[in-house]
């Protein structure tokens, strides 16, 4: 089957998501949310160093693509970063740990983008304490050397698809092991497959956590263009299912519906098609630890993209709510030393090339435009 015409349903942390079909002309092209994807093409085209760097940074991954960042230009050379208070996941991320990791991903990409344009960006985290801005950066034209990882920013994606049934090549393993711990042994991988699957069943089977994802779904091109964040369900096949009423917010919320059963089955298959995992732990679990984990994940993500390796966060078993506590404990038994926190867990392997995900335009994520 021509991969560019593949009509798949893929599933992500929160439910059913649009497939990764790439634009292939005709009807598909008319259903592509062009405005929602424009930030990928506009990155670096603002003619001002801080805006250019921010326009790359917003291509960073974030939980449920919430893009929780807000940026403000300060003086001639400063950037202040905030977390927008309303952009959070109170059910599945009650402590804002994952949202903070997403801020860390953004910060790393911002620093890398500044560096690629010859600027150092001196960073101060939480300059006014935990309740104030997340970070301040000062840009300085200091002939900084570009980090080669930055070259892969446009290729990076989270690949929410089944991976090929083959082990990571030794060179890929060695390159990625510089950024994260890799789990590749058949026993430990089998244990993580079982754990990620069981944790997924808990999230999808707990009404309030499942609803949190469904509420963030964008059904079809019009909704995606209107709110280019959350879980985008698009493309001709999904939009056809929406038109005939098979795929709606209500059917996804109904555990007895075909849409729900199919989404569960596809998620199980996807999680099973995994031969390796990447893990990030931190000794503590402070906001600074979470930002640092996000920065490390961003580097891993870029390194994977640069090698054509697919990466997909699977966070359910790391989430801090009562129904998940047994799986959270098991994840820590398997992956962390006593006292450590597992900040990120992701599938790693060889997957199909998938489409970029939507983003808000830079202007929409800046205070004062």
Ligand X SMILES: Cc1cc2nc3c(=O)[nH]c(=O)nc-3n(C[C@H](O)[C@H](O)[C@H](O)COP(=O)(O)O)c2cc1C
Which spans of this chain sit near ligand X (rule: CB under 6 A)? Answer: 12-13, 61-65, 98, 101-102, 105, 157-158, 160, 313-316, 357
Q: In the complex with ligand X, which residue's Cβ is closer, 108 or 139?
A: 108
Least distance to ligand X, CB of residue 293, Å: 8
350 C-beta neighbours (distance < 10 Å), count: 18
Least distance to ligand X, CB of residue 60, Å: 8
Least distance to ligand X, CB of residue 134, Å: 14
Q: In the complex with ligand X, which residue's Cβ is closer, 160 or 221?
A: 160
Q: In the complex with ligand X, which residue's Cβ is closer, 73 or 99?
A: 99
Q: In the complex with ligand X, which residue's Cβ is closer, 50 or 97?
A: 97
Q: In the complex with ligand X, which residue's Cβ is closer, 70 or 73?
A: 70
CA distance 101 to 327: 20
List C-alpha distances in Å: 256 to 133, 224, 260.
44, 27, 7
DSSP 142: -
147 C-beta neighbours (distance < 10 Å), count: 15
Q: In the complex with ligand X, which residue's Cβ is closer, 77 or 364?
A: 364
Q: In the complex with ligand X, which residue's Cβ is closer, 281 or 357?
A: 357
Least distance to ligand X, CB of residue 233, Å: 12
By the 8 A CB rule, do 103 and 343 touch?
Answer: no
Residues in contact with 287: Cβ distance below 8 Å, sequence separation at least 6, in sequence order: 100, 125, 126, 130
Least distance to ligand X, CB of residue 107, Å: 12
CA 19 to chain CA mean position, Å: 15
Q: Strand 69-74 relative to strand 78-83: parallel, antiparallel, unpaired? A: antiparallel
Q: In the complex with ligand X, which residue's Cβ is closer, 139 or 158?
A: 158
Least distance to ligand X, CB of residue 85, Å: 18
Least distance to ligand X, CB of residue 168, Å: 20
Query: What torsion, rounded to 10 degrees, do the Cα atoms 188, 190, 192, 198 define?
Result: -150
Residues in contact with 128: Cβ distance below 8 Å, sequence separation at least 6, in sequence order: none
Q: How far apart are the first and last CA of the chain?
A: 45
Report the phi/psi class of residue 35: left, alpha or beta, with left for phi > 0 and alpha for psi in -120 to 50.
alpha
Residue from 60, 138, 56 nearest 99 by CA: 60
Q: Order the strands of the 135-141 sheet from edge to edge.
A: 69-74, 78-83, 135-141, 119-125
Least distance to ligand X, CB of residue 357, Å: 4
Q: In the complex with ligand X, which residue's Cβ is closer, 102 or 349?
A: 102
Least distance to ligand X, CB of residue 141, Å: 30
DSSP 20-83: -PPP-SHHHHHHS-HHHHHHHHHTT-SSSHHHHHHHHHTTS--GGG---EEEEEETTTEEEEEE
């Amino acid at each position: 089957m021509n991969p560019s015409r593949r009509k798949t349903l893929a599933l992500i942390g929160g439910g059913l998501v649009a497939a990764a079909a790439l634009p292939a002309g005709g009807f598909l092209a008319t259903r592509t949310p062009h405005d929602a994807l424009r930030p990928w093409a506009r990155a670096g085209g603002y003619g001002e160093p801080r805006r250019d760097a921010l326009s790359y940074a917003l291509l960073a991954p974030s939980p449920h693509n919430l893009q929780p960042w807000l940026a403000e230009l300060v003086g001639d050379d400063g950037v202040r970063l905030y977390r927008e208070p309303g952009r959070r996941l109170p059910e599945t991320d009650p402590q804002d740990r994952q949202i903070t990791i997403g801020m860390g991903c953004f910060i790393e990409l911002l620093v890398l983008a500044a560096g690629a344009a010859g600027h150092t960006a001196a960073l101060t985290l939480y300059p006014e304490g935990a309740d104030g801005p997340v970070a301040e950066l000062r840009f300085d034209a200091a002939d900084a050397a570009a980090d080669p990882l930055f070259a892969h920013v446009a290729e990076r994606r989270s690949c929410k698809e089944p991976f090929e049934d083959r082990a990571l090549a030794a060179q890929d393993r060695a390159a990625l092991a510089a950024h994260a711990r890799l789990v590749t042994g058949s026993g430990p991988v089998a244990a993580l497959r079982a754990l990620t699957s069981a944790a997924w069943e808990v999230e999808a089977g707990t009404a309030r956590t499942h609803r949190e994802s469904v509420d963030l779904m964008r059904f079809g091109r019009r909704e995606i263009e209107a709110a280019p964040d959350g879980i985008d369900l698009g493309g001709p096949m999904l939009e056809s299912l929406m038109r005939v009423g098979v795929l709606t917010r209500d059917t996804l919320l109904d555990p007895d519906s075909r849409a729900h059963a199919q989404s569960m089955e596809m998620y199980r298959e996807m999680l099973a098609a995994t031969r390796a995992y990447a893990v990030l732990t931190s000794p503590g679990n402070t906001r600074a630890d979470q930002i640092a984990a996000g920065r490390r994940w961003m580097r891993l993500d870029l390194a994977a993209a640069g090698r054509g390796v697919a990466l997909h966060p699977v966070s359910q078993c790391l989430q801090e709510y009562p129904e998940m506590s047994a799986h959270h404990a098991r994840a820590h038994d398997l992956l962390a030393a006593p006292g450590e926190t597992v900040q990120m867990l992701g599938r790693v392997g060889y997957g199909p090339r998938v489409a970029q995900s939507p983003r808000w335009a830079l202007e929409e994520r800046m205070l004062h435009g």
